Amino acid sequence: MDNWSRDASLAHWNTFGVASRAEFAARVTSVDELENLLAQLNERGLPLTILGGGSNVILRARVPGCVARVDIPGIDVEPIDDGARVTVGAGVRWHDLVRYCLGQGLYGIENLALIPGRVGAAPMQNIGAYGSELADCFDSLTAYSTDTGVSARFERDACEFAYRDSVFKRRPELVITSVSLRLSRTWSERSDYPGLNEMLKQRGGPRSPTRLAEAVIALRRYKLPDARQHGNAGSFFKNPTLPNARFVELRAADPGLPGFETATGIKIPAARLIELCGWKGRQLGAVGVWHRQPLVLINLGGATGRDLLNVADQIKADVAQRFAVDLELEPRVLGVD
Ligand SMILES: Cc1cc2nc3c(=O)[nH]c(=O)nc-3n(C[C@H](O)[C@H](O)[C@H](O)COP(=O)(O)OP(=O)(O)OC[C@H]3O[C@@H](n4cnc5c(N)ncnc54)[C@H](O)[C@@H]3O)c2cc1C
């Protein structure tokens, strides 16, 4: 247990910056280290909680057992067809991967520039932004089962990717250790997401994957708070998907309400519902609702996980009362109070 910290502060292991403590904390940089750690935890009957960059979690005051951050490194490029299969260690920072691939002339993830966190967490909620999601260029991943002690490969279908969802949310025993993407040397521009094309035009110059990534970064820097200044976890709520008839009713009351057709119904922006309930820019104790994007809650200083969840409950109640729409949290809640 020499490489473990006892009674460890997790304040720097979550981008909300909320105070939380773990009985033990450790970093694992290989599958062997993960196996080793598990053997020791099993001997002592301690549970394991996995973290990447902590940018999609709400930590309660205490996390029992051991919190392990997956720091497995490595990027391996194997040429295939008109591109490459890129296999990446779960601990690599997602945005570092985006930059690396652009530098190698490999395209497909440039719309996902500047999403915080690690590659190992990207499949968890099938990260997505600006008209693109991980599933678009996903090849396979390797996950280690803490139940069986065996590593297995998961092809795309087995991952059950959906909007901010995958099978891994329902299988906490699986630790993702590497992810493979299929990227192309031929770029197909995806800039039809609202605001992106305008940003590209405004910035001028010829279109290229790098310029698109820069436009995405500029939009994100304008819209979202910098977690180093205002602790946050990006979107706090998922965008709800409604049956067509319900969408038509809501649109009758709010003709400007946008709707995006999906396989399961019409997806609408939760931000608009939250704004119409008067929450945009509001502050409640140490919790704020970001003035440029009301989907984002921020830690104004000293907020706890419980404070964040209390404000989220009030927002959910207001949206449910006014629109009869249930908002679902996007970040995972870990630990106990
Ligand atoms: C400013 C900001 C903007 C954001 N924008 C976006 C966005 O545009 N689109 C988007 O989809 N998300 C966005 N997010 C959310 C977040 O960045 C992503 O979900 C990211 O993939 C989380 O990575 P992480 O390493 O920080 O995961 P963590 O927060 O550490 O973990 C998230 C969950 O995954 C589990 N987990 C982590 N690593 C592993 C692993 N190796 N194996 C198994 N389980 C694991 C954890 O137990 C936890 O349940 C944003 C967050 C912030 C702060």
Alpha-carbon torsion (106, 109, 113, 117), positive or negative? negative
Measured between alpha carbons, how far is 216 from 54 in angstroms, rounded to an integer?
22
Name which residue sits closest to atom 17 of ligand 1, judged by CA: 116
H or E stretch covering 12 = none
Amino acid at 81: D
At 307 the three-state DSSP class reads helix
What is the atom index within ligand 1 of the atom nearest the CA of 119?
25
Q: For ligand 1, is residue 50 a contact (CB within 6 Å)?
A: yes
Measured between alpha carbons, how far is 256 from 305 in angstroms, rounded to an integer?
34
Q: For ligand 1, is residue 68 a contact (CB within 6 Å)?
A: no
Measured between alpha carbons, how far is 197 from 102 in angstroms, rounded to an integer?
20
Name which residue sits closest to atom 19 of ligand 1, judged by CA: 56
At 96 the three-state DSSP class reads helix
CA 267 to chain centre: 19
Name which residue sits closest to atom 43 of ligand 1, judged by CA: 175
Name which residue sits closest to atom 2 of ligand 1, judged by CA: 234
Classify residue 297 as exposed, middle or buried by CB count within 10 Å of its CB (0-12, 13-18, 19+).
buried
Q: For ligand 1, is residue 331 a contact (CB within 6 Å)?
A: no
Distance (Å) from CA 324 to ligand 1 centroid: 29
At 94 the three-state DSSP class reads helix
Name which residue sits closest to atom 24 of ligand 1, judged by CA: 117
Residue with tokens 């949206």: 319
Name which residue sits closest to atom 1 of ligand 1, judged by CA: 234
Q: For ligand 1, is residue 89 a contact (CB within 6 Å)?
A: no
Mean pLDDT by 10 residues, the chain (337 residues): 83 98 97 96 96 98 98 98 96 98 98 98 97 97 97 98 96 98 96 92 92 97 96 97 95 92 93 96 98 97 98 98 96 97
What is the atom index within ligand 1 of the atom nearest the CA of 177?
41
What is the atom index within ligand 1 of the atom nearest the CA of 51?
30
What is the chain's Cα-based Rg? 20
Q: Quick one: pLDDT at residue 4?
A: 82
Q: For ligand 1, is residue 141 a contact (CB within 6 Å)?
A: no
What is the atom index within ligand 1 of the atom nearest the CA of 53?
26
Distance (Å) from CA 269 to ligand 1 centroid: 20
- Confidence (pTM): 0.96
Q: Which of 115, 176, 333 best tests ligand 1's pocket when mutated (most atoms within 8 Å of CB)?
A: 115
85-101 b/e (C-beta count within 10 Å ≥ 16 → b): bbbbbbbbbbbebbbbb
Q: Quick one: pLDDT at residue 205?
A: 86
Residue 41 DSSP one-character state = H
Count of positions (residues) in the chain: 337
What does each C-alpha distance from 43 to 23, 38, 47, 283, 332 come to in angstroms?
16, 8, 11, 46, 27
Active site residues: 164, 235, 330
Distance (Å) from CA 201 to ligand 1 centroid: 31
Q: Quick one: pLDDT at residue 2?
A: 56
